Amino acid sequence: MADLKHDTVIYVGLERCDPLENITKEEDNNLVIIQRFLNSYNITNFFQNDLKALNNIKYLVLDLKAFTNSSTDAEIVQALDRQRQLYKNVRFIIIAQGYKKGNVILSEIVNTGIYNLVTSPVDAGVYDQLKNCFEEDGMSYAQAAQYKVSNASLTGSRSAVVQTNYEKIKQDISIGIIGFTRHIGATTWAINLLNYLNTLPNVKSCLIEANKHNDFEKLSKKAMIGKLGVEHLPGMKEVKVNGLDFYYDFSKITEITAQKYDFYLYDYGSLPELSSDDLASFLNKDLKFIVVSNSIFEEEYLVNVFNQLNPETENSFIIFNFTDEKEQKKIRDDFSMIKNIYFNEYQPDPFTLKSKSYLSGIMEKYTTNSSFKEVKKENPFSKIFKKKGSKKWKKKEFIIGGSKKRKNKKK
């Protein structure tokens, strides 16, 4: 942390903020809370009567819960904008614990030029975000831009989110993503699914690294990814990139699930890496996405998918990567008994949303009141693979990569 020598703080909230109190007690900073206002206030009256001046104050920490019962959104935004203009040397830090993306008031606060926003629903996350707000430069616009809403307007009434037309049929949906081998693009695809879910109003999702690649922790070392802001919450082992939530420590699963996400995405890496426990965990997920290709050199990995992952179930989806459009019809014909086969668009940048058309079709019934049930089908691959015994294959003929390839009988 930067050298914050005798930096003064005023805190306003309904009650004491434990994460803030803990930060000020730490030896590596010199933050001092010189005044606490603990009550419910009308924000206009508060700045006119209770806190008339902010001279010699460096940080003003405001918990929105102190104002929301007595002030409209428009009144809160107007008062914050006025105070920020009057006291340009004061850093305004807004605690909006548990507020989601799409919230109108957060968008309007960002429009006033206040970027230090704390929204984590759990104290550990509040602690991490407050620490970032007290850093020398605080939160940047790139980090706060995740809360921006296009054409947002305040009506004076309590406006939680811009739209609430997505209604989940099941809370806490778990989604497993796996590649049938390494470097097939499973993680990129997982990020793309998270990105798609992030576009849905009133839907909150996260991606958890359930493998040993440490890819998400590497993101925490970056200040920016392209033009996207990166926020690191080390206590939660979390990285935020443009509103996308990544977790890189599976041992934090209790804290993660306590945040009540609608969708929990798990990146399992590749099938050959899975332990028996990991395999059981993947198979237990509500939805399972298996990223494959139709390369003739990777046919053995596709066989493993059929043997181990039960891709014929209604809640399993096979995603073909790197597939020529000319081959797609042939693949569909070869797997005509399988409903859930999709072809991914070319995606060199994992943070640029692709394949939205088929993702919206897949996820629609999981974000509306459509009824569905899992139907166990007879194994359709028995028509493609001639099976002998439970694991051995005899003279298999499989169409892949646009050509016919025969395998000799296993000895």
209 and 343 co-located in one domain: yes
What pLDDT does 353 receive?
95
Q: Which domain holds residue 386?
A: 173-393
Enter the tokens of residue 156.
Answer: 């004076």
What pLDDT does 161 receive?
52
User: Which residues are CB-contacts of 247 (< 8 A; sequence separation ≥ 6)?
Assistant: 206, 207, 208, 209, 216, 236, 237, 238, 239, 256
Question: Which run of H or of E encompasses 316?
Answer: strand 316-320
Write the CATH number for 82.
3.40.50.2300
88 and 234 co-located in one domain: no
Number of neighbouring beta carbons within 10 Å of residue 36: 17
Alpha-carbon span 270 to 247, nearest angstrom: 18
What is the pTM assigned to this prediction? Answer: 0.78
**Residue 117 domain-assigned (yes or no):** yes
The widest CA-to-CA distance across the chain, in whole angstroms, is: 88
374 and 263 co-located in one domain: yes
What pLDDT does 157 receive?
40
87 and 216 co-located in one domain: no
279 and 143 co-located in one domain: no
121 and 197 co-located in one domain: no
What pLDDT does 291 receive?
95
Half-sphere exposure of 130 (CA within 13 A, CB side): 27
What pLDDT does 168 receive?
53
User: Which residues are CB-contacts of 62 (< 8 A; sequence separation ≥ 6)?
Assistant: 12, 13, 80, 92, 93, 94, 95
194 and 140 co-located in one domain: no
138 and 270 co-located in one domain: no
386 and 306 co-located in one domain: yes
Q: Are strands 228-233 and 238-241 parallel, antiparallel or unpaired?
A: antiparallel
Write the CATH number for 288.
3.40.50.300
What pLDDT does 401 receive?
40
**Residue 155 domain-assigned (yes or no):** no
Number of neighbouring beta carbons within 10 Å of residue 41: 20
228 and 340 co-located in one domain: yes
Which residues of the chain are modeled with pLDDT < 50?
A: 1-4, 152-158, 162-166, 369-411
Number of neighbouring beta carbons within 10 Å of residue 170: 10
What pLDDT does 369 receive?
46
Handedness of CA 111, 112, 113, 114 (dihedral sign): negative
**Residue 402 domain-assigned (yes or no):** no
Alpha-carbon span 235 to 360, nearest angstrom: 34
